[in-house]
Structure formats: structure tokens, C-alpha cells
Amino acid sequence: MILNYTKTILLTFVLLTIGKLAYGQQEFTLYHMPSLAQSTYLNPAAVPEHKVSISLPILSGGFGGFNNSAINVKALLSTDGTLDFNRFVESLDEKKNYLGAGANAEIFNLRIKAANNFFSLGSRVVADVRFNYPKDLFGLLSEGISGDYSLSGLALNVNSYIEYAAGYTWAKPDSKWTFGGRVKFLHGLANIQTKNTDINVHVNEAVDDIYTYDVDVDAMVNLGLAVDGDKYNSFEDLSDMVIEDIKDPSGWGGLELLNLVDEYKPNKGIAMDLGATFQYTKNLSFGASVLNLGFINWKSFAQNYHIDTQFTVEGVTAEVDFSADMDSLINAQVDSLLQFYGDELSDIDTTYNSYKIGMPTQMFLSANYQITPKFRATGSLFTEFHNGVSFGTVVGANYRFGRSFHLTASWWWFRKSATNLGIGMVIKPGFGQIFVIFDNVLPAHLVKISDPEMGVDNIWLPYQAKNFNVRAGINLVFGKIREESRLPLNGLKKRKDGARRYLFKPALKQ
């Protein structure tokens, strides 16, 4: 029953989100909130405030967000409301532009203290979509004049999986060190991966104001799905399965997903997270973590498409029947285009070989300084290894308003964007722990846009916003850790003799 319930959650999550998400999951504020059990996703050595923390489905919430390198209101519109697409194209990097987002939803998470050890078990669903594109992708649209355009480097990586994790943290009171680790067993749900894309387009001189395009493509596309590849070995088979098994309109929003449980065949993978903290002085500590050291082996319904062809794109006459409904109209035009270019694109070599994809490895290096008993300053460096190396910098602070409210703020720079203020709030009513975390809550220089020609009248828009992340949920927590040497974020405490003692880690031996 539990297994079927988990599978149903997975399939629901994938179908409802993976088609709507468009680069990775960079959560910076959460890293500096060790009072939450979820902070161990970013550093397995983080020490919580309670002996038991439980996250349950629905209550535990999840994470969602997007970020990109170039697209925002400022890049496309002037303050007077004038659209300037050419200016946007000129602002792009020649090869390294990206667009994307990520999401994850917790199914279950349990973290429990036993003596000097913390054990954890958890499960969550993760979706991650990454799209890299060269400047010429939009240059071809904005210029459209004769010449050569290179779309080489165009890359799409769609990845969705379920994660079953077991974690352990060692926190001995008389040691300056804390160590943590997590082993993650991965069940791949869906993957699309492009490799070695070499695409060149030559725009010929216009004849009667009509351009023709010579396209030269050499690329590999891998596809993996969590269905039985022996039973279903083509998209036509999958289409028949969907029509046959999701035809009952009485299901969830018209989708009878329970019938798909028997078709579920995940792709196996494994990954590991490692973390450590070191208490350098009573006030100063350091932390480090490495995340997602692993891979997923895509074997179920694994297909490889090698496209090596040359063809010419010419104008196609489309007969539009405005009396038809929009869905029928779009489907008819798509069918017409596919039929027209079907012969040109038929030279695709299809194989059925399994393939591996490495997980996007991330690394955090941090420093924490306890300024007062309630106030702590933090800073960290972030690195991600995926399709190159990306760097980020974060500075932040924690403040505790009594026992029931904690506030964390962070300011971060990542991928050419510096106007990113993160806010994290934890409210603790009774056994509950309600949290809301935003990365980039700044209005990003709100500007009022007006353009009578476009029908725009005094609309306030976030002029520079490129990124936004949010995480929210509720934990159930029990058993406040009373040992002075184990309380995170409580910081310094005056003793009767006036001396101060650091509580996040044990006082140094004399």
C-alpha cells in the first residue's frame, strides 16, 4: 500500500510539473538555517535543535524556483515601455546563456538523535530542467538576414527522479569536529539529454522577401523513461498506453493515474552527500559539504537518437480555418509541418542503448561567527559542476526573537546576478515548526511601465529580476536538546562569573 502510494505521488508530480518547469536548484538561505532538518540537504553535518524531527506528506511542502542569466524586464523593455529585442540579443553571451528551474517535494523525512549520533531517513521527488543556448539562437530571430549562424552548444537536460536517503551525523560533545553523510538511492523517472550538438544555419539571400535556410545538424539526443522498455519500445506504444490507461475522466483532474502504477519501472542510480564542521574558536566555526556525488543509469525505455542531416527550410503555406477551435487548429498545423519536413528529418539513427548521467555536483564552504547570544553572521562560497563550473557567494545573518521566531537573511551573488536578498522565517507553535524561505525577495528595482501603443498603462514590473526560489512547509519536532554544547544558533551565554560560553559546539578544552 505504501509503495503504491509513493508511486502515485511520483507520477502525479512528474506529470504536473516537469512539463512546466524550465536551471538547477540553488538554495542559499536554507544552508544558513541549521535549526531546520531540511538544512541537511545542503550540509549533512548540520546539527538540529530537537531530538526528533518529522516531515510528513503535504505538511512538509517543498521547493520551487527558476533562474536565468539574461532574460528579465530590463533586457526587453525600456522604462518608457518600448520593446527593444535587438538590445536584448546584444546583451547575450556568445555561447553561455541558460534558462531553467527546479522543484522538489518531500514525501517523508525523519531525523532522530541517539546519544552522540543523529540518524535520518527520507524520501522526496526532484525535477530539474536545464537549458543552455548560444546568442545566435535569438540572433537568428532578431536579424534574420543572410549569413551564417551557429547554434552549436544548444543543450537541454531534463531530469526527474525519486530519492530514498539514509543519513548519519556524528556530533560528540568533546570534539571540535562534526561529520555527516547521506547515501541516496535514486529512481529515475524521466530524462532528456542532448549531447555534442553541432547545428549550423545559413540564411540565403531573400527572393521576393522570402528567406530560405540551409540547416546542418549533427547531434545526439538521449531519452529515458520509467516504463518497461521491453513492453513499450516506441512513442506510438506510449501513446497507446496513455490513451488506454488514462481515459477515465473521473480521476484526479481527469487523470486516472492509479492505472499507471503497474507500468512503473524506475531507472536505478546512487549518490552521496558529505559534510563537516569545525569549531575553530568559541565564536568562529567553519563548514564544508559536497553534494550529489553520483549518477543515474537509464535503462528502462532508453532510446538514443543520432541526427546527422542537412536540409533546407522554405516557406510553408498554412490554410487557417478560424471557425475551428484552437486545439484542432494547432494540431492541424503541426501535422502539416511534420508531414512537409518528415522526409528531411527521417535520416535519424535510433538505438536502444542504456546511458549514464552524472548528478549536478555542488559544493559549499562556509564560515560562521557568533556576535551576540542571539545574533550570528554567516558567509559561504558555492560551486556547481555541471556543463562547466559556476560560482556563487553568500553573506547572511541569523537573529532569534525568543524561542518561537527565528529570522535569517542572506545576500547572494550568482551567475551575473547580485540583486538577490534571501529571507528565511521559522515559527514554532507547540510541536510544530512552520518555515518559509525565499531566495530573492527584492522587488529588483520596480519600474512603472507605460506604452499607449501596446495598451500598457502604469504597470509596475520588477525591472531586474532574474531569479526566484521559495521553500515552505511544516515539521513536527519533539525533545529540545538541553545540553549546552549541542544547541545551534543559541550562541553565547553568560555564566555566573561573567564569562561567555559558546553553545553551538562545545567549549574548547582548557
Q: Which residues are registered as beta bridge partners of 446?
A: 462
Here the cell at position 13 is: 508530480
Question: Is pLDDT of 108 > 50?
Answer: yes
> What is the share, in percent, of the chain residues with pLDDT greater than 90?
27
Say what the pLDDT of residue 402 is.
79
Identity of the highest mean pLDDT range in 150-154, 170-174, 292-296: 292-296
Say what the pLDDT of residue 342 is.
56
Say what the pLDDT of residue 230 is.
74
Contacts of 269 (CB under 8 A, 6+ apart): 161, 185, 186, 187, 188, 294, 295, 296, 297, 359
If pLDDT is split at 50, 70 and 90, which confidence band does 205 have?
A: confident
SS (H, E, C) 241-277: HHHHHCCCCCCECCECHHHHHHHECCEEEEEEEEEEE
Q: In this predicted model, what pLDDT tens digit does every residue of 317-351 receive, in sequence order? A: 455 555 555 555 555 555 555 555 555 555 688 88
Question: Is pLDDT of 249 > 50?
Answer: no
Of the candidates 18, 16, 22, 162, the one whose C-alpha atom is nearest the C-alpha of residue 468 is: 22
Average pLDDT taken over every residue of the chain: 76
Question: Is pLDDT of 73 > 90?
Answer: no
Q: Which residue has the higher pLDDT, 77 or 1?
A: 77
Of the candidates 3, 6, 13, 11, the one whose C-alpha atom is nearest the C-alpha of residue 241 is: 11
Reported as type and span, the H/E element at residue 6 is helix 2-17
Q: In this predicted model, what pLDDT tens digit does every residue of 493-508 receive, in sequence order? A: 444 434 444 334 433 3
Question: Is pLDDT of 312 > 60?
Answer: yes
Question: Is pLDDT of 510 > 90?
Answer: no
SS3 408: strand
Say what the pLDDT of residue 256 is.
46
Q: In this predicted model, what pLDDT tens digit does every residue of 364-416 receive, in sequence order? A: 999 999 998 889 999 999 888 877 777 888 888 999 887 789 999 888 776 66
* Section 414-428 average pLDDT: 77
Q: What is the rounded CA–CA span in Å between residue 301 and residue 225?
A: 5
* Section 104-126 average pLDDT: 92
Any alpha helices (H) in 310-389, and if so which ranges? Answer: 326-341
Cα separations in angstroms, 312 against 75, 217, 318, 484: 32, 11, 18, 73
Q: Which residues are registered as beta bridge partners of 289?
A: 275, 364
Q: In this predicted model, what pLDDT tens digit does every residue of 446-495 receive, in sequence order? A: 666 666 655 556 665 555 667 778 899 999 999 887 654 444 434 444 44
Contacts of 10 (CB under 8 A, 6+ apart): 125, 162, 187, 189, 264
* CB 92, CB 76: distance < 8 Å: no
Say what the pLDDT of residue 44 is.
94
Question: Is pLDDT of 64 > 90?
Answer: no
Any alpha helices (H) in 48-203, and if so which ranges? Answer: 73-76, 85-90, 136-142
Say what the pLDDT of residue 436 is.
92
Torsions phi, psi of 244, nearest 5? Answer: -75, -35
Q: State the chain's maximal CA–CA distance in angstroms.
A: 92
Q: Which residue has the higher pLDDT, 439 or 3?
A: 439
Residue holding cell 549531447? 195
